[in-house]
């Protein structure tokens, strides 16, 4: 059956890159930086026990909308909406279009930035088409087209404005600790140390500072070197090897 996007859509090509998963921590912390998102997560999820479960479910839904059929996309969108209907509290409602817009924006912005830093920069036309496709995804997830930025330039300004206005709460910092220091076997700690460095380095500076994440010139240089090495090697790796896990590509 036909999906929302053709096989050669930019969003299908970009979203299928496994390297984008490196931005998971960045996207999560950007979402938690919104006080209402942090409050909803704290009140209605077992986030501390499974800090990446929410992100995993969001990505699975996004992959279904991008790679699945129209019927599959409609089904997953209805399921998410039904779950969010019960996520309410003092001053927030999970199906609030403005909150949905911010959550979606963190994923879109992170995908563009990670792709540019670790694989290759998209051309202006590719980036514009990717954003146009992302508008369709956001609309499927309940974000009215009328409140979405009209083009990529407006989207980037929206993200800058949001980053400049967000005030990270103590609740958000506590939740972020679960992301950066999850309960994992000791042997996984080296990998998590690397993930923490990536998350800190990829976060916008104002949010990195508010979350209290250290950063200095040496760490910045190491991240720049890692990005340059990745951009040299990854484009030479066969596309099939670079793809995200098949179970996520619905």
Tens-digit pLDDT profile for residues 186-226: 666 788 889 999 999 999 999 999 999 999 999 999 999 99
Total number of domains in the chain: 1
Dihedral sign, Cα of residue 182, residue 223, residue 236, residue 108: positive
Is 38 inside a domain boundary? Answer: yes
Among 166, 209, 137, 192, which Cα is nearest to 31's? 166
Supply the range of the domain harboring residue 104.
Answer: 10-242
228: pLDDT strictly greater than 70:
yes
Q: Read off the pLDDT of each residue in 137-143 and give the average, rounded to a whole number.
A: 96
Is 196 inside a domain boundary? Answer: yes
Is 201 inside a domain boundary? Answer: yes
pTM for this predicted structure: 0.93
33: pLDDT strictly greater than 70:
yes
Is 77 inside a domain boundary? Answer: yes
- Per-residue pLDDT, 58: 86
- Per-residue pLDDT, 247: 53
Is 250 inside a domain boundary? Answer: no
- Per-residue pLDDT, 248: 60
Q: Read off the pLDDT of each residue in 121-125 and give the average, rounded to a whole number.
A: 97
Is 248 inside a domain boundary? Answer: no
């Amino acid at each position: 059956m036909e999906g929302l996007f053709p096989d050669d859509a930019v969003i299908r090509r970009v979203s299928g890159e496994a390297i984008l998963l490196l931005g998971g921590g960045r996207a999560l912390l950007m979402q938690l930086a919104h006080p209402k998102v942090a409050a909803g997560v704290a009140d209605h999820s077992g986030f501390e026990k499974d800090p990446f479960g929410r992100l995993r479910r969001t990505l699975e839904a996004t992959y279904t909308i991008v790679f699945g059929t129209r019927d599959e996309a409609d089904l997953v969108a209805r399921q998410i909406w039904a779950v969010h209907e019960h996520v309410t509290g003092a001053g927030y409602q999970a199906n609030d279009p403005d909150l949905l817009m911010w959550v979606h924006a963190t994923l879109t912005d992170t995908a563009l930035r990670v792709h540019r830093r670790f694989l290759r920069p998209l051309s202006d036309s590719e980036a514009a088409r990717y954003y146009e496709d992302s508008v369709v995804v956001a609309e499927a997830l309940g974000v009215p087209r009328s409140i979405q930025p009209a083009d990529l330039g407006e989207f980037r300004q929206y993200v800058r404005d949001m980053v400049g206005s967000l005030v990270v709460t103590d609740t958000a910092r506590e939740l972020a600790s679960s992301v950066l220091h999850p309960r994992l076997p000791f042997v996984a700690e080296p990998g998590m140390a690397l993930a923490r460095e990536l998350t800190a380095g990829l976060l916008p500076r104002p949010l990195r500072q508010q979350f209290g994440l250290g950063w200095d010139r040496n760490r910045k240089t190491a991240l720049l070197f890692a990005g340059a090495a990745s951009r040299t090697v990854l484009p030479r790796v066969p596309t099939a090897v670079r793809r995200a896990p098949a179970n996520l590509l619905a």
